Amino acid sequence: MTVAPRLRVIGSGRAGRSLASALNRAGWQVVGLLGRGDDVRRAGDGADLVLITTPDAAVAEVAAAIEPSPQPVIAHAAGSLGLDVLAGHPRRGAVHPLVALPDPERGAERLAGAWFAVAGDPLVQRVAADLGGRWFEVPDEGRSAYHAAAAVASNHLVALMGQVHRIAGGIGVPGEAYLHLAAGALQNVAEVGPAAALTGPVARGDWDTVARHLDAIDPSERSAYLALAVAARRLVDDDGLPASLTDRYPEER
C-alpha cells in the first residue's frame, strides 16, 4: 500500500489554497497551511513536501527561514524562479502549474489535468502525476523566458479581451459573441499553428481597413492595437506595417 505524501503549504493565497485542496482530493495528507506571520522554521517537520506559494519576491526569504533537513523536499510554485532561491536545503524542487487560478475552488478544479513546469526533486513530478496532469522540465536559465510566455498566454490575453469589451461596449454587441470568436481562434491555433490560423485585414495586407479601425476606436486604444497589428504581421512577413499607416498615427508608435 502506497503511503500518502504529507504536504505543508506556506502561503495562504489563491495558489496555496488551490494546490492544498487539489492535492488533498488526490489523496495527499495536508498537514498544514501557513500564512503571513506564522513561524516557518520547523515547517519541514512531519512533511514530505513543503511547498512555498508566496509571491515570487518572498520565496527566497521564506526558504531561508526554514531549518534545513535531509527528509522534506522544499519547493516553490513560482514560475519565474529557479532552484537557486532554495539554496541550503538538501532536497529542492519547483512545480509551477501552468493554469490560471482565479479562486481556491475553481483553482482546485482546474489543477486536475493541468500542465506543470517542474525542476529538481522527483517528488514534484508526483504532484503533477497525482493531479492527473502533464509536466515538462524547465532549467533555471530558462525560467524567466518560460514565465514571460505564460504571462502573454494568460494575463495578456485577459487584458486583450478587456480591450475588446471597451471597444465594443458602446455598440450593443454581446461580449459573449467575441468570446466565442476568441475561443474559435485559439482552437485554430491548436489545430494548424499561429501563422496558418491568422486571418483578418493584417494577414491580407488590407491597410485601408486597419486605418478605419484606428479612426473608429478611442485614441487611448490605438497604441495597443498597433502593437498587436505589428505582432500579427510578423506571422506573415517581417516588413511590419507600411509607413503610410504608421505615419498617420506617429504619436502611437
Dist. CA 48–CA 179, nearest whole Å: 42
What pLDDT, in 10s, does the model give residues 156-182?
A: 999 999 999 999 988 989 999 999 999
43 within 8 A of 69, measured Cβ to Cβ: no
Cα dihedral sign for 132, 1, 47, 72? negative
Domain with CATH 1.10.1040.20 in the chain: 145-252
pTM above threshold 0.85: yes
Domain with CATH 3.40.50.720 in the chain: 6-138
β-partners of residue 77 are none
C-alpha cell at 182: 476568441
Q: Which CATH number fits domain 6-138: 3.40.50.1820, 3.40.50.720, 3.40.50.300, 3.40.50.10140?
A: 3.40.50.720
DSSP 4: P
- CA 22 from centroid of its chain's CA atoms: 18
CATH topology of domain 145-252: N-(1-d-carboxylethyl)-l-norvaline Dehydrogenase; domain 2 (1.10.1040)
What pLDDT, in 10s, does the model give residues 85-133?
A: 999 999 999 999 999 999 999 999 999 999 999 999 999 999 999 999 9
Dist. CA 185–CA 199, nearest whole Å: 9
Give how far Cα 97 sits from Cα of 19, 45, 134, Å: 9, 25, 10
Dist. CA 249–CA 244, nearest whole Å: 9
